[in-house]
């Protein structure tokens, strides 16, 4: 009876608290913690969750919260290689010559850490954050919901009144979309557009970091089924993490060796590691799930309208 009691006590000693979730630890023969399994609570009101097209998914903030257990290291390589083979600084902003503002951002991130079974896994993502195309996507959505806000057409079909009142943006050949720049829905889209320009590099990096975390085996969960009222929903997610003895310099060395490696098993720093290349396509859900970066509260719809009166009709602004 006493042996069983001792066993129960030993098992209790292997339980620790992390945040508001109970964490179970596994020790090696010399008493060091080797593996940790915990249940983390994600809260919608804290920006951990977002509902997109009827599904609730984990945001960038949510993955950062979950990562408290596995401790996946996010590495930003000093350079990245563009599709044409040119090596550039990372992240790499593309400047619009007409407006002098950022129009695109290239970004690369690596996620280095151990999987739930203890093997080294490196996730890699290189993406292009195209602000102009996301703006067009946004206003198409606005026009779909507000028929009086604009229309899809060719520039040749515009009336003189439409040319004076709005702006036309091409998205494929001669095809484009005309919008009324005084319509509230379009002003809202412009507000988002300007904020995306202001925080372009930060947003690109947030999306890229979320990509490498959500594809890493230690955190490979995207959708959840939360409980509670809307905007106050919570979800508990189980996460497994392994401790390691790698220093920051060693992790950087591992990431450098794996940075240009093809997907599959490679050997880095004398040990085998799996490299997973994450798609660089940025979907609507990726942008929405990175919305924790937020809009600049100092830029209002009135500010946007004033800017538009002065600049929006200048050719090539967008």
Instruction: Please say whether the beta carbons of 176 and 158 come within 8 A.
Output: no
Report, in this order, helix, strand and coil percent for the chain, each rounded to 5.
35, 35, 30
Answer yes or no: is pLDDT of 12 > 60: no
Q: How confident is the model at residue 312 (pLDDT cuts 50, 70, 90)?
A: very low
Of residues 23 and 143, the one with the higher pLDDT is: 143
pLDDT one-digit tens code per residue, 98-151: 888 999 999 999 999 988 888 889 999 999 999 999 999 999 999 999 999 999
Instruction: Please say whether the beta carbons of 247 and 41 come within 8 A.
Output: no
Nearest alpha-carbon partner for 72 in 105, 115, 37, 13: 115
Give the C-alpha separation, 243 to 246, whole Å. Answer: 9
Answer yes or no: is pLDDT of 297 > 80: no
Domain map (residue ranges) of the chain: 15-312
pTM greater than 0.85 (yes/no): no
């Amino acid at each position: 009876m006493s042996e069983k009691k001792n066993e129960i006590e030993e098992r209790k000693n292997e339980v620790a608290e992390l945040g508001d979730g109970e964490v179970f630890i596994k020790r090696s023969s010399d008493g060091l913690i080797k593996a940790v399994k915990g249940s983390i609570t994600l809260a919608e009101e804290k920006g951990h969750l977002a509902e997109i097209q009827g599904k609730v998914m984990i945001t960038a903030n949510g993955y950062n919260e979950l990562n408290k257990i596995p401790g996946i290291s996010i590495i930003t390589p000093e350079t990245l290689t563009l599709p044409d083979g040119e090596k550039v600084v990372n992240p790499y902003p593309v400047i619009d010559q007409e407006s002098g503002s950022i129009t695109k951002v290239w970004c690369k991130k690596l996620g280095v850490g151990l999987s739930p079974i203890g093997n080294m896994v490196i996730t890699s993502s290189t993406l292009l954050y195209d602000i102009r195309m996301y703006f067009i996507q946004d206003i198409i959505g606005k026009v779909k919901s507000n028929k009086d806000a604009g229309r899809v057409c060719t520039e040749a079909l515009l009336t003189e009144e439409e040319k004076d009142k709005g702006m036309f943006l091409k998205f494929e050949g001669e095809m484009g979309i005309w919008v009324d720049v005084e319509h509230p829905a379009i002003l809202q889209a412009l507000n988002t557009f300007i904020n995306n320009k202001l925080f372009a590099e930060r947003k690109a990096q947030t999306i890229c970091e979320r990509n490498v975390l959500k594809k890493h085996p230690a955190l490979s969960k995207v959708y959840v089924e939360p409980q509670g009222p809307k905007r106050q929903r919570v979800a508990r997610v189980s996460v497994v993490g392994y401790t390691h003895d790698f220093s920051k310099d060693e992790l950087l060395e591992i990431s450098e060796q794996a940075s240009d490696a093809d997907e599959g098993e490679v050997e880095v720093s004398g040990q085998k590691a799996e490299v997973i290349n994450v798609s660089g396509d940025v979907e609507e859900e990726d942008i929405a799930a990175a919305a924790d970066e937020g809009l600049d509260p100092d830029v209002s719809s009135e500010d946007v309208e004033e800017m538009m009166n002065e600049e929006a009709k200048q050719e090539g602004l967008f």
